[in-house]
Structure 1
Amino acid sequence: MSSSSSSDTTAVFDVILRKTQDKNWLSFAPDELSSLISAFTPDCPTAIHTKGYLVLSAFCQRRRTESSTPEEGTKSICATFDTPVSSRIADTEEPEALAGLTFLSSLFDVDHLAGSAIFTRDGTLEAVMDSLDLFPKLRAVDLAVAHLLGRAASHKSCRALLAADHRNWLEWKSRQTDDAELRAAAAVALVKLGRGSKADAAEVGGTLEQNAMEDDELAALMKGLVLDFRETSSLGDAVEGLAYMSTNPAVKETLSKDAAFLRRLFTLVPKRKGAAAELLGDSAASPLYGTVVIIANLCVYRPRLSTEEAQIAKLRQMAKTPKGPGPSQAQQEDENEPLDDDEHVKERGQRLLKAGAMEALTSAVRATDSRAVHSAVGKAMLSLVEDKENRGKVLQAGGGKALQAIIQAALPASKFSESSRPPEMEKGDFDSIQALAKLAITAAPVQVFGPNEGAIYDAIRPFALMLTHPTASLLQRFEAMMALTNLSSVSAEAATRIARAAGLTNKVELLMLEDHTLVRRAATELVCNLVAGSEEVFNKWGGDREAAAGGKLQVLVALCDVDDLPTRLAASGALATLTASPDACESLAELERERHRVLPILGQLIDPSVVARPAADEGAEQDEQDLLETDPGLVHRGIVCVRNLFVGVQGRSMPEQVELALETNRVGIVRALVSAVKSCTNNPSSPILWPAAEALKWLLEHGVEIPL
């Protein structure tokens, strides 16, 4: 294209771009449509390609916005492009045919539904293949056809039209050595066709015809193209093909062990935002997107299935198994592939970090606002931080800030209105939140979020959403609670903001009753921190008289008696804080009077060897194996709770106080307190000495004889 014609075309696109700002704009003038269709040919400069994509994207988006259904939108777009594009592909003049082929490929990138509709129209594929006979020696046409078949192979409706002769042509072009760019484009099409055909066959339980070219041969070809600096024009195709092939465990191992390839691959990620990266960031043909997908594929772990999910998957597998060997059997073999076990994945992640993967991922977040790229980055980082040894390296490379940027872009503040329903979450939206939660669990908040408390407050929202959203998994809820527990310890303001998150406290209260020990523990630890840091939660859990009459205190008392030391520490810590309130103490005294369980459980915290568990039969000797684990923290909390309880019931009548004192002596707490005081003989500064002495003094004043 000459410089003058290029300038004219640029001017045309500038006019069209201004028109796209008009809300009433819906169509092209004939010369505008002709310029757009011709904008993607190889002789057009990059600036024209970019503006062509911008115009095409704006038009397709406008048509879909104006349509009431996706089908109507597709029909509307095709009404504009179908006839002129089809006629150009069938044209006997090379420039026209090339324009039609390249435009249809670009339409697939921008709106694959419209691209598929035109491709599957009667006569389109025949015209595409006829162009190869019409222009047998034109490399540009071969390349355009290879690219178009590659785009079509990504979509099931188009894939169904591709027969053996199309595959044979692609294999022929992928084996020639004269044109590396054509070789890469054909190889990518073969990979996409093979992967898609395998998925199609699995859906119907059929068998799959094997490719003549094996995966390792195709992977070696495309890896070589990435390493060859001279063939930069083929990089996009090579990276796209590797993005598809990097789901193969053997290919994962090969790529991850080639440090030179990884370093070269990571250089394809731009360091800053640009028009091309922004526009095609989520296109399969974009080296930026492809690079991020390769990283994510290399380090992804097998899905962690719950017992129920594993059983369901097994039943589905049995239902799909055909009478002979087929895709279901192959799928089962993939699931048992040793190269995809946790140890191999962990080693691949370490190799990726050593080669600079984190720098590439953080650069990708800065380079584009593409939701698809951000989602892939979140998936990759979630896999990398699964290994605790990697978390420091991820933070050092700016992983925390990158994850926060992804979350902020995907989940704007408007989605967190307390009065609104839970926002719709796309697959992968929780990956970035979960990755950030893992970092927040094992590192100090200042290391993850920096010294600015505003960043911590911003993180509360997504963590709370992951905890309360109905589609979140139990693991995600667990990790959200762990992260929020750490954040709640930063300040009273942070704890208060966490407590005020919509639906959070109700969800945590339910999870405190969960059968899973770790989930129950995490919920109890979060409540303990919130009770200590938030006045609202303190009052809700028993700090005022109305709340103290509820069942929340009873739940905490029960959790002080479970066979899990961290849960007991958290529950007794919350009780120790709450018993600073006379209202909570009154409620506990009433509960003891009704159930006779509060004092035995508090005594068990101090000394399980002398205080029987409430479940034990009266008069029966306690089995040593039934003794709960003891801990200095439990002793301290138990003594504080008992001391606070005695002080908090001073408003009761003297007979009621005496009754409480006698019951305390009967269950063995007096002996436990005396034993605790004696243990402080050589440590007069022990924190348990003063509250234990105060408790014994109160008991002595209420008629209990204290043994020496």
Structure 2
Amino acid sequence: MAAVAEEHSLEARLSGLDLDASSATKGTIDGQTLLSAFRTEASPRSRALATLALSRTSGQGQELASTELLKSTVRHALSSLDEDVEGYTAALRLLSTLYALDPSGAYTLCGSQGQRSSWTLILPRIESVSNDSVNLFRAELLSSAAAHTASRAQLKGDADVVQWLASAVAKGKEGQAPLVAQRVALIAGLASYKLERGPTSSEQEELGAPSSTSEDAAELQTRHEAQERLLLSLARPHIVSADAQTLDQEESRLTILSSLEALSYLSSLPAMKEAITNDSTLLQKLCSLPSTTKQGLERKSVFPSRRTENPQNGQSSYDLDSTLSSPLRQADSSLQYALWTIVLNLVAYRPILSYEERQMKKLRGMANAKKSEAQKAGGGEEDQRESSPAVDKRVGKAIAAGATQALVSISLAGGRTTEDSSSSGSSISPAVRDTLGQAFLHLTFKQDKVQRGKIAQAGGARALLVLGTHAIKKLSSDAPSTSNPLERSSSSSAASESSSLAPLQALARMCITTSPAILFGSPTNALAALPALATLYLHATSEPLQRFEALLALTNLASLDAQLASAVAKARMALPTGSSTSSSKTNSSPASAQKPHDTDAQRTVADAMEDSILLEDNAMIRRAAVELLCNLAQDESVFKRWTGEEEEQALEKPKGSIAAGSALASGKGKGKAGRRLHLLVALCSPADSTTTTTESSVEPASASDPETTSSSAKETSLSTRLAASGALAMFSSSATCCSHLLALRPRSLNILVRLVKPGTRRSKSQFSLAASASGAKIEEIDEDETEFESKSHKSENTEGGDDGEEADAEAESTDEELESRLERNDAVSSSLGITHARASLAIRGVSVLHSLVSFLQWSKDQAAFTDTDTRRSAAPTPEEFTIALHTLQASGAIEAFRVVALEGARELQTLGDQNVRGMTSNQAGAEVEARGMRGEVTKMAFECLKMLSGMGVQVK
């Protein structure tokens, strides 16, 4: 009873300390009271209160540790080893805790400015003390102090410290050493590692600093490798033998946390990464450690059981002291963070460096050439161990060992934030959550369907949704207060935002490889991934690769059904209420430009997609944006915007006036819709990958080596052409879109004609003769085509006469040779074969041209109505009809229709099944599909010729 009363008295005194961070007036810290809370017999609640008091007070910037009262209390306890071993040990615990909370304050207590008063109290009689528990906490204090730069400098220069650590390690690694001695050896070895590897304030590495000779560096490298192997051998047994009771005992908990800390250091080294992953027993134990130690896997019921004999077990979680939630979970959070840091280090790929970063790396290498040579002499396999193939193997071993299941279980169990949860239920800290997101990001790096499928089977998609929800909340609360990119780049929040985007990017990769309907069970459930994907695409700090992957994932999501496509088009990034930060001012990419009145809160995926298509200078991002456009064409608002119907409605022409929707009459295609469609037409032309890919090129996530990422990365334009022509095929079902397309020059329409029949030339003479015969006044179209068309299409000779015509003919011949080569490159790049690629382009091109011819026929029928009330608003006038018809003739469309129709007719007469013999099943299937598409192309070509002939055009 006396012990219980004393404990209650201690808790009452601790409760009187400053536990309220908002109150800085409760000021005096009772050093003796704090010290009593760190004695062995003190309850966990008392120690948690004391830790919280230290944390809250140091967080306010108060000079807690420098108070004379606390100094005298700690030093008195350290000097009373013979009289009060418990008091001595409590002082060691207090200093270790203080080093974690306030390193500078702890350094003041242990001796600063050249003083070693406290260290002399800790160390000189160490050999005379036979209590291994005292040595354990002494080693813990030295390990904690070694992480602080100023303290490390003192300890590193103290021969007594170095000698004691070495003797403790030697004693503990003996074969028959007691368990406590092995624990002391582990923590002492960790402290020695920190002293050996951590630079002091005067030893910080600088660019161009003088380095040791190759012989000295090789010897140092050998010593370091031996130290690493020793530390791994000391930590391994404690990890492998961990069980559910590990964290219940103070010494066991300290040992397992120190083991994980040691592995977190070692796992950052290439050689040790290989050693850990090759040890299947150790790796499996690391991955199963959360379940073994019951880390966040059990949820306490909110309401107590009605039938319980133990009042404590029946207590509602609402009744727990909310001020104790963080301290009581400190061991769990420390274990989780160290554990997932190890896993992250093992599976992390080298970062993909930009061009500037690669140049800086070369400069550093040249400045430290001697040091680099010494490192190569000591271990020449560093690059191979960090290469992508080597990391791929480590990732495979980690997944096989159960890393994915462990990540998923912790992510799902930690659904609540530590700030929002007042219960002791399972929740994880923001730092752990960021580490989990980074680990998922690297596990999904490789474009391997089987590997990502295993992650999906383990529940990776659900876990990423949970992590993504917290990431979006964090990004929303950390929204930038400035739109100045210079201020944003220097902000410390950039790294935080980058880590917050990691789970969103990992989720995007999962949605790219596997259909969202399969990942989430149904299209309706797949809608839950939309906020994460939209945020990844729209956020101001998203990198090109992140935007590219977000576009691909959104494309898959929009392909499920029309309702989801509309939701994707209208999706916005969640931001705090009242935010008006413009993403166009914070995103360094040209694709982020937007209208002045558009803010982050107003900007939708459809808006950003349009900017990516119109303004993005990266070919792969533009291609992904065009593919998304194809799926978003199901949405009415997107369809109207891109076809020009939205502008047509905005004009609100009075009844009876010239056709409002006729681009031929009102602006000759100069409107926004005209420019959008013009660019889509230009994207149907084959492009040279060596000129369209810039320094900001986006590499696929499966790049064999991030180090090779450069401006020389090539991607054929086939995918972009297929997407652009497919979008035009859908949009051309609108009469307004057809009006805009026919307002383009014959040169532009010839791009569509060449999709049907590559190499088809424009019919210049036919255009001029027909125009004269009709008597129509054909004005020169003065739209700026140079904005979209390639340089090879821009050269025009301004001089008259025969020399000008010869120059034009020579330039056109050069263009045809280049285009023919690019056409072949595109066709060869198709995984389904050359004939399938050409048939796919042809059916899209002929579909657009078929719509244009149908529009002209419809326009001719409308021209028969003289009453303006009866004529449809989108129908052009007779003069506009004549111009449009001759523009189509001059583009070479009729010649292409004629050739394709004849070739198709011959193919239908001579083609048999014998041509597919000897092919694989995939090749045969692709060939059959290509024949079907060519048959449709032939059919539509005949229909176009028939309609043109009915309009009085000579087609033979």
2:94 match: 103
1:433-462 superposed Cα distances (whole Å, 9 cap, x missing partner): 2211111111110233343735x4443333
Match of 1:75 in 2: 63
Q: Is the 8 A contact 2:110 2:117 kept in 1?
A: no
Q: Specify whether residues 552 and 282 from structure 1 end up closer, same or farther in structure 2 by C-alpha distance, changes over 3 A only.
A: farther
Contact persistence 1:278–1:369 (CA under 8 A): no
What's the counterpart of residue 265 of structure 1?
A: 286
Partner of 2:891: 667
1:373/1:668 Cα in 2 relative to 1: closer, same or farther (>3 Å)?
A: same
Give the drift of 1:244. 0.8
Q: Is contact 2:54–2:98 with CA below 8 Å preserved after alignment?
A: no
Aligned-pair CA distance for 1:172: 2.2
Q: How does 1:86-235 map to 2 (within 5 A)?
A: 86-88=74-76, 90-92=78-80, 93-112=84-103, 114-115=105-106, 118-119=109-110, 121-122=112-113, 126-134=117-125, 136-137=128-129, 138-164=131-157, 165=159, 166-177=161-172, 178=177, 179-197=181-199, 201-203=204-206, 205=209, 210=220, 214-229=227-242, 232=246, 233=252, 234-235=255-256
Residue of structure 2 equivalent to 1:536: 637
3-state DSSP class of the match of 2:733? coil
1:463 to 533, 540, 544: 533
Kindly state the Cα deviation for residue 282 of structure 1 after the two structures are TM-superposed. Answer: 7.6
* Distance change (3 Å), C-alpha of 1:79 and 1:691: farther
Equivalent in 643, 651, 658 of residue 850 of structure 2: 643
Taking the TM superposition and a 5 Å limit, the aligned residue runs for 1:410-489 are: 410-412=471-473, 415=476, 424-425=493-494, 426=496, 427-451=498-522, 453=524, 456-489=526-559
Q: How many residues align?
A: 688
Aligned residue in 1 for 2:387? 341
Deviates more, 1:420-429 or 1:257-266: 420-429
Residue 577 (str. 1) matches residue 730 (str. 2): yes
Matched, 1:407 2:468: yes
Change (3 A) 1:214 1:293: same
2:693 alignment counterpart: none
1:260 shift after superposition:
1.1
Q: 5+ residue gaps in structure 2?
A: 247-251, 301-323, 414-425, 573-599, 649-668, 688-716, 763-788, 794-807, 828-836, 860-874, 910-930
Separation in 2 of the partners of 1:419 and 1:542?
36
Pair member with larger Rg: 2
Equivalences for residues 285-684 of structure 1 within 5 A: 286-319=334-367, 321=368, 324-325=370-371, 336-365=382-411, 366=413, 367-387=426-446, 388=448, 389-412=450-473, 415=476, 424-425=493-494, 426=496, 427-451=498-522, 453=524, 456-500=526-570, 501=572, 502=600, 503=603, 504-512=605-613, 513-530=615-632, 532-544=633-645, 546=647, 549-550=671-672, 551-563=675-687, 564-592=717-745, 596-611=746-761, 617-618=808-809, 621=813, 622-623=816-817, 624-627=820-823, 629=827, 630-648=837-855, 650=859, 651-677=875-901, 679=904, 681=908
Structure-2 change in CA distance of 1:221 and 1:490 (3 Å): same
From 696, 700, 708, give the equivalent of 2:949. 700
Contact in 2 for aligned 1:227/1:264 (Cα 8 Å): yes
**Alpha carbons 2:39, 2:87 under 8 Å: kept:** no
Aligned residues: percent identity?
27
CA apart distance, 1:99? 1.7
Q: Is the 8 A contact 1:13 1:52 kept in 2?
A: no
Q: 1:543 to 1:190 in 2, by over 3 A?
A: farther
Q: Is the CA contact 2:110–2:118 (under 8 Å) kept in the aligned structure 1? A: no
Partner amino acid for 1:109? A
Distance 1:280 1:217, change over 3 A: farther
AA aligned opposite 2:429? S
Contact 2:99 2:106 in 1 (8 A): yes
Q: Which has the higher contact order (CA 8 A, sep 6+)?
A: 2
Code of the aligned partner of 1:559: L
In 2 relative to 1, CA 535–153 (structure 1 residues): closer, same or farther, beyond 3 Å?
Answer: farther
Q: What is the distance in 2 between the residues matched to 1:243 and 1:537?
A: 50
Partner of 1:70: none
Which deviates further from its counterpart, 650-659 or 53-62? 53-62
Tell me the CA shift for residue 43 of structure 1: 4.7
Please state how far the C-alpha of 1:309 moved relative to its aligned partner.
2.3
Normalized per residue, the structure richer in helix is 1
- Contact 2:152/2:200 (<8 A) preserved: no
CA contact (8 A) 2:140 2:187 kept: yes
2:551/2:624 contact within 8 Å kept: yes
Cα distance in 2 for partners of 1:262, 1:477 equals 34
Q: Tell me the amino acid that sits aligned with residue 626 of structure 2.
A: T
Q: Work out whether residues 411 and 462 of structure 1, in 8 Å CA contact, stay in contact via their aligned partners in 2.
A: yes
Moved more, 547-556 or 504-513: 504-513
Structure 2: distance between partners of 1:369 and 1:481: 30
Distance, in Å, in 1 between the alignment partners of 2:261 and 2:744 is: 66
Q: TM-score, normalised by structure 1?
A: 0.85
Q: Match of 2:205, SS?
A: helix
**Which of 47, 55, 59 pairs up with 1:60?**
55
- Asked whether the equivalents of residues 636 and 687 of structure 1 are also in contact (C-alpha less than 8 Å), the reply is yes
- Deviation of 1:429 after TM superposition, in Å, equals 1.9
Aligned-residue offset at 1:396: 0.9
- Equivalent-residue separation in structure 1 for 2:144 and 2:345 (angstroms): 21
One-letter amino acid of the counterpart of residue 289, structure 1: Y
Q: Which amino acid aligns with 1:170?
A: L
Alpha-carbon offset, residue 297 of structure 1? 0.9
Distance 1:281 1:249, change over 3 A: farther
Shift of 1:516: 3.8
Structure 1 unaligned regions, length at least 5 = 68-72
Q: 1:285 to 1:465 in 2, by over 3 A?
A: closer
Q: 1:309 to 1:699 in 2, by over 3 A?
A: farther
Q: 1:403-444, CA deviations, whole angstroms, 9 ceiling, x for partnerless residues?
A: 221121232188189998799550522222221111111111
> How big is the shift at 1:539?
2.7
Deviations 1:523-548 (A, max 9, x none): 22123322x13323223323325287
Aligned in 2, Cα 1:446/1:77: closer, same or farther, shift over 3 Å?
A: farther
The Cα of 1:609 is off from its aligned counterpart by 3.8
- Whether contact under 8 Å (1:359, 1:397) holds in the other structure is yes
Q: Partner residue of 2:777?
A: none
Cα deviation code 1:342-392 (max 9, x no counterpart): 111111111111111112222232253211212222222222212214101
Mean CA deviation greater in 541-550 or 332-341: 332-341
The letter for the 2-side match of 1:435 is A
Counterparts in 2 of 1:507 and 1:383: CA distance versus 1, 3 Å: same
Q: How many angstroms apart in 2 are the aligned matches of 1:419 and 1:553?
A: 35
Cα distance in 2 for partners of 1:274, 1:193 equals 41
1:674 and 1:303, CA in 2 relative to 1: closer, same or farther beyond 3 A?
A: same
Instruction: Pick closer, same or farther for the CA change 1:125–1:43 going to 2, 3 Å.
Output: farther
Instruction: Give the TM-score taking structure 2 as reference length.
Output: 0.64
